[in-house]
Amino acid sequence: MGETRWLDEQEALVWRKYRDLKRELQAAQDRQLARDSGLSGADYALLAPLSEAPGSVLRARDLGLEVGWERSRLSHQVRRMEQRGLVAREACEDDARGSMIRLTDAGRAAIVEAAPRHVDVVRKYFFDPLSKDEVKALGILFDRILDTLAED
């Protein structure tokens, strides 16, 4: 395994700032969604890809991959959203063991109402403090980190 390469002072500071940013940005988004639309961050996480999918339907497995959730978490969240009429679970024609998750009219209305204010929060807290060059550089850095993660 080798000797541990501990973070130096600068790296440790940047890592803490990243963790703080991730936590605070998610909290700001969650507060805004709850206040303005009654949706949770988890609701929005599923409604967004469903609203962009052809026919507003995705196979449960693909939706889980899209949001990076395990099957159990996805299943529980979908059940809660079904109870509120935001999504409907349907049988998968190709695989009897699989299921399809469909955005309902109520779910479409919820995401259409929530999206503009959600984007305002993302813009205010994430993009507006940065210059166009900084946004471009951040995209390059994120790609590099994501590529490294994908290698594993």
Domain membership flag for residue 61: yes
Q: State residue 97's pLDDT score.
A: 74
Domain membership flag for residue 2: no
How far is residue 104's CA from residue 149's CA, in Å, rounded to a whole number?
Answer: 35
How many domains does the chain fold into? 1
Domain membership flag for residue 1: no
Q: Give the CATH number for residue 110.
A: 1.10.10.10
Domain membership flag for residue 120: yes
pLDDT, tens only, 2-36: 899 999 999 999 999 999 999 999 999 999 999 99
Domain membership flag for residue 3: no
The owner of tokens 């390469």 is: 5
Domain membership flag for residue 4: no
Domain membership flag for residue 62: yes
103 CB burial (10 A radius; 0-12, 13-18, 19+)? buried
Question: Where does the pLDDT of residue 38 fall: very low under 50, low under 70, confident under 90, or very high at 90 and above?
Answer: very high
Domain membership flag for residue 147: yes
Q: What is the mean pLDDT of residues 73-102?
A: 91
